[in-house]
């Protein structure tokens, strides 16, 4: 059974969409990620045009991060003030990101740039997850407990415009969070990701936020940034496909809840290592598409329909 | 589901002499192809009948030619080149008003000469040495070399063929009882919406004897049309509604599962 997507202007198998959303949702529920970094490239693999994949992915992340934020919010693990400061940067970053995106569409380089960005992002994510999980597995075998520093003092604490973030027990300058938000905003608009993968380590290592508050705060921030990106894409690139988004959201929300349940029952590190391998597999596929001489070196895109 | 577009195409002969007289009877139960939520491409049926003129010599050859031309569109064709091992888009050409869909089928292989003389076809230019650039408005960009232009033109046709949007065949028309013909034309799910023209030609001894044309529409309908036009006319509200749907499903999903887990 297939469904015609009105904005992508092609029909796809409905079960393919549902299983794609379900699997990405499952992984995101299990690891507490947005899943956009897998959703966008997988959509492109199944033939969805790049701009539609990016814009619709952003829309889907709104739903999955709302689901996630609710849980953290109830437990008081969201630093709204920090989220708000990050959003100031993200607001301007995503506007710049949309502008870059539209320019790349106009000069016909969007596919290439998205491929390169995704290759870099996925390789980084995949390798760091693989190293992290293998370290944990090794330590567990050696029965060694890993001690982590809770608070880092670095350059972020020496800049002006210091503000007190009570929830995170921080007294730092607003400049680093605004810059981080700005960068995430650009990436979100151009790649259709929430950016948790970059945001979370940045919040821990650059801002020195307590780990317990990081996930909730980043999810909270991602709701608004992806919401903004969705609106910006809908109004400038016209690439948000509501039908595609609907099926992805429905299946990913269910998948995410199952993933949360599974996370409580399964051992994390082995699955994390497996996810790392999936991520690296996707990265390899993207790299091959860039490096291997294509069968058809010409590609056609319709720029104006009469109708 | 086969929606049929029925064309009865009668060539009645010998009623009025000396020239061949023709009566056309056109029956059509549908003049539109609808793109709805279930649309996954369609088969367009074209059929009819033709009668040979008795005054015609017995060894003369009759052929049927069916041409389907889709609505014009502007396309950007980009060529990839290798830069430091990476295959990146480099040169780009914009073709204006090329058919979004093109299909040509005949009962026997037609020569390029015939097609060129009768101004039929688009794909035959791929083979012919004399390329008629004048019929296309093209923005060649940085390309000035004739050979490169031809390479781009051939690539335009090839990429369209790969997407099943351009096709030229000589074995898809079924002839039944010598003067009834029938052909199923594949309309893939990626076809552009708009007005399509079907041209039928009866060819006798390599001369076009009779021509007949009719049009049909490919239209978005129902929810597909509603979503598409809403997204173009009210993009802000379209984005907002997409968001609201995401929020509702995301929120309620979390709530439903929270209750489910408590049980």
Asked if B69 has any chain A CB less than 8 Å from its own CB, the reply is: no
Asked if B234 has any chain A CB less than 8 Å from its own CB, the reply is: no
Nearest CA in chain B to A287: B86
How do residues A204-248 score in pLDDT, each as one tens digit? 777 778 777 888 888 888 899 999 999 999 998 889 999 999 999
Helices A110-141 and A80-107 meet at what angle, rounded to 10? 140
The pLDDT value given to residue B21? 38
Which residues of B fall within a CB distance of 8 Å from A2? 38, 40, 189
Asked if B242 has any chain A CB less than 8 Å from its own CB, the reply is: yes
What are the extents of the domains in chain B?
A: 32-220, 226-263
Which residues of B fall within a CB distance of 8 Å from A292? 87
Nearest-CB residue to B162 (from A232, A233, A296) = A296
The residue of B37, B239, B248, B259 whose CB has the most chain A CBs within 10 angstroms, and thus the best one to mutate to test that interface, is B239
Q: Is residue A77 part of a domain?
A: yes
What is the C-alpha separation between B108 and B203, in angstroms, rounded? 10
What is the C-alpha separation between B249 and B79, in angstroms, rounded? 42
Asked if B231 has any chain A CB less than 8 Å from its own CB, the reply is: yes
Task: Give A186's pLDDT tier (boundaries 50, 70, 90).
Answer: very high
Pairwise CB contact (< 8 Å): A235 & B235: yes
More confident site: A152 or B197: B197
Q: Is residue A6 part of a domain?
A: no
Task: Give B136's pLDDT tier (boundaries 50, 70, 90).
Answer: low
Percent of chain B residues topping a pLDDT of 70: 73
For residue B92, which phi and psi values (nearest 5 degrees)? -140, 140
Q: Which of A42-51, B7-16, B32-41, B57-66 has the lowest mean pLDDT?
A: B7-16
Looking at residues A39-60, what average pLDDT do you find?
91
Task: Name residues whose C-beta falls within 8 Å of residue A135's C-beta, 6 or more positions apart in sequence.
Answer: none
More confident site: A212 or A182: A182
Pairwise CB contact (< 8 Å): A301 & B76: yes
Asked if B164 has any chain A CB less than 8 Å from its own CB, the reply is: no
Q: Is A302 exposed, middle or buried (0-12, 13-18, 19+ CB in 10 A)?
A: middle
The pLDDT value given to residue B20? 44
**Structural domain count, chain A:** 1
Please give the order of strands across the beta sheet that includes B180-187. Answer: B42-49, B180-187, B173-176
How do residues B82-101 score in pLDDT, each as one tens digit? 888 888 888 888 887 788 88
Nearest-CB residue to A306 (from B71, B81, B241) = B71
The pLDDT value given to residue B135? 55
The pLDDT value given to residue A89? 92
Confidence check: pLDDT of B129 > 50:
no
The pLDDT value given to residue A235? 92
The pLDDT value given to residue B27? 41
Asked if B89 has any chain A CB less than 8 Å from its own CB, the reply is: yes
Confidence check: pLDDT of A153 > 80:
no
Chain A stretch 97-156, residues whose beta carbon is closer than 8 A to a beta carbon of chain B: 108-109, 111-112, 116
What is the C-alpha separation between B43 and B4, in angstroms, rounded? 8
B168 DSSP β-pair partners: B104
How do residues A4-31 score in pLDDT, each as one tens digit? 888 888 889 999 999 999 998 888 877 7
- Own/partner long-range contacts of B144-153 (Cβ < 8 Å, ≥24 apart): B152/A298, B152/B77, B152/B79, B152/B93, B153/B125, B153/B126
Tell me what the pLDDT averaged over chain B comes to.
75
The pLDDT value given to residue B5? 40
More confident site: B233 or B83: B233
Looking at residues B64-77, what average pLDDT do you find?
85
What is the C-alpha separation between A70 and A253, in angstroms, rounded? 13
Asked if A9 has any chain B CB less than 8 Å from its own CB, the reply is: yes
The pLDDT value given to residue A98? 93
DSSP for A52-100 reads: HHHHHHHHHHHHHHHHHHHHHHHTT---HHHHHHHHHHHHHHHHHHHHH
Chain A stretch 21-60, residues whose beta carbon is closer than 8 A to a beta carbon of chain B: 59-60
The pLDDT value given to residue A151? 52
What is the C-alpha separation between A185 and B172, in angstroms, rounded? 54
Q: Which domain holds residue A33?
A: 12-291
Asked if B75 has any chain A CB less than 8 Å from its own CB, the reply is: yes
Pairwise CB contact (< 8 Å): A10 & B85: no
Pairwise CB contact (< 8 Å): B80 & A2: no
The residue of B81, B98, B249 whose CB has the most chain A CBs within 10 angstroms, and thus the best one to mutate to test that interface, is B249
The pLDDT value given to residue A251? 93
* Three-state DSSP class for residue A307: coil
Looking at residues B121-149, what average pLDDT do you find?
60
Q: Is residue A297 part of a domain?
A: no
Tell me what the pLDDT averaged over chain A comes to.
83
Could you tell me the pTM of the whole model? 0.80
The pLDDT value given to residue A194? 85
Q: Which of A250-254, A292-296, B35-39, B131-135 has the lowest mean pLDDT?
A: B131-135
Confidence check: pLDDT of A152 > 60:
no
The pLDDT value given to residue A304? 60
Q: Is residue A5 part of a domain?
A: no
């Amino acid at each position: 059974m297939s469904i015609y997507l009105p904005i992508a202007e092609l029909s796809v198998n409905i079960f393919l969409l549902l299983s794609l959303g379900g699997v990405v949702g499952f992984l995101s529920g299990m690891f507490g990620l947005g899943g956009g970094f897998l959703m966008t490239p997988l959509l492109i693999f199944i033939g969805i045009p790049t701009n539609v994949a990016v814009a619709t992915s952003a829309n889907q992340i709104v739903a999955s991060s709302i689901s996630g934020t609710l849980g953290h919010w109830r437990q008081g693990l969201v630093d709204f003030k920090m989220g708000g400061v990050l959003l100031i940067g993200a607001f301007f970053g995503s506007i710049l990101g949309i502008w870059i995106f539209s320019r790349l569409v106009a000069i016909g380089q969007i596919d290439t740039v998205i491929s390169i960005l995704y290759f870099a992002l996925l390789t980084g994510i995949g390798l760091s997850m693989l190293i992290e999980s293998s370290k944990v597995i090794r330590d567990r075998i050696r029965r060694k407990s890993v001690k982590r520093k809770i608070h880092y003092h670095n350059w972020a604490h020496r800049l002006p415009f210091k503000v007190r973030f009570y929830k995170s027990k921080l007294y730092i300058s607003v400049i680093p969070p605004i810059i981080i938000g700005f960068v995430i905003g650009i990436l979100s608009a151009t790649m259709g990701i929430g950016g948790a993968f970059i945001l979370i380590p940045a919040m821990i290592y650059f801002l020195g936020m307590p780990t317990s508050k990081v996930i909730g705060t980043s999810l909270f921030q991602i709701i608004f940034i992806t919401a903004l990106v969705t609106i910006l894409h809908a109004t400038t690139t016209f690439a948000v496909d509501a039908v595609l988004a609907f099926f992805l959201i429905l299946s990913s929300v269910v998948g995410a809840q199952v993933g949360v349940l599974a996370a409580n029952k399964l051992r994390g590190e082995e699955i994390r290592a497996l996810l790392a391998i999936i991520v690296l597999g996707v990265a390899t596929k993207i790299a091959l598409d860039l490096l291997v001489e294509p069968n058809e070196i010409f590609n056609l895109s319709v720029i104006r329909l009469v109708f | 589901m086969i929606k049929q577009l029925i064309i009865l195409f009668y060539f009645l002969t010998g009623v009025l002499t000396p020239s061949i007289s023709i009566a056309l009877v056109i029956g059509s139960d549908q003049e539109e192809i609808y793109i709805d939520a279930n649309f996954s491409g369609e088969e367009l049926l074209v059929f009819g009948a033709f009668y040979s003129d008795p005054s015609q010599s017995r060894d003369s050859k009759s052929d049927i030619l069916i041409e389907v031309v889709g609505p014009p569109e502007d396309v950007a064709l980009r060529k990839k080149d290798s830069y430091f091992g990476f295959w990146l888009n480099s040169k780009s050409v914009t073709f204006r008003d090329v058919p979004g869909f093109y299909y040509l089928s005949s009962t026997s292989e037609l020569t390029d000469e015939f097609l060129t003389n009768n101004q039929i076809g688009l794909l035959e230019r791929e083979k012919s040495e004399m390329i008629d650039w004048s019929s296309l408005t093209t923005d060649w960009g940085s390309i000035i070399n004739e050979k490169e232009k031809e390479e781009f033109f051939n690539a335009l046709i090839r990429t369209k063929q790969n997407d099943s949007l351009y096709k030229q065949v000589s074995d898809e028309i079924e002839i039944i009882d010598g003067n009834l013909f029938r052909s199923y034309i594949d309309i893939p799910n990626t076809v552009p919406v708009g007005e399509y023209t079907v041209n039928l030609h009866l060819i006798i001894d390599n001369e076009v004897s009779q021509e007949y044309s009719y049009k049909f529409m490919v239209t978005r309908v129902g929810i597909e049309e509603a979503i598409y036009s809403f997204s173009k006319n009210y993009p802000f509200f379209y984005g907002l509604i997409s968001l609201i749907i995401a929020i509702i499903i995301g929120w309620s999903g979390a709530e439903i599962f929270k209750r489910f887990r408590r049980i």
